[in-house]
Amino acid sequence: MPIWPKMQILRLIKPFVKKKAAGGLRALSRDIGRLGGQYEEAITWCEKAILQEPNSFLARIMMAAVYSLSGREEEARAEAAEILRINPKFSLEKLAKSCTYKGKGDCERLFSALRKAGLK
């Protein structure tokens, strides 16, 4: 399992605060697998991103996915609720259409985590 210094994790998460869903989603689905199980560190940086941009759709998606992947189901569900607050018409089906990244397994890992968080 790779050791990810704080700056590398920050580089994975920080762009999602400002990016729009289509381009950011490709990077998010690819990079979520690169966390190497260091979910607590990723959660810390997601929290910082959300403090800067509370309504950042992609930061909330990243947070919900990381919570879900780390087994923190209650927190993942709370983030899912925030995603729906920001975008009441959110659906994984619509989000999947934005995931054009070649590594479909990466997209599926992201969607699986989001489904586990309660998103449909």
pLDDT per 10-residue tile (average), the chain, 120 residues: 44 50 53 68 80 84 90 96 94 80 70 94
Please name the residue ranges forming H helices in the chain: 6-13, 15-18, 21-31, 39-52, 57-69, 73-86, 92-98, 104-116
Which CATH number do you get for residue 65? Answer: 1.25.40
Residue-number span of the structural domain to which 66 is assigned: 6-116
Residue with tokens 């399992």: 1
Domain count along the chain: 1
A 10 A CB-CB count for 117 gives 25
DSSP state of 120: -
pLDDT, position 17: 46
CA distance 107 to 19: 17
pLDDT, position 33: 59
pLDDT, position 1: 33
pLDDT, position 110: 83
Q: What is the pTM of this model?
A: 0.74
Residue 1 within a domain: no
pLDDT, position 98: 72
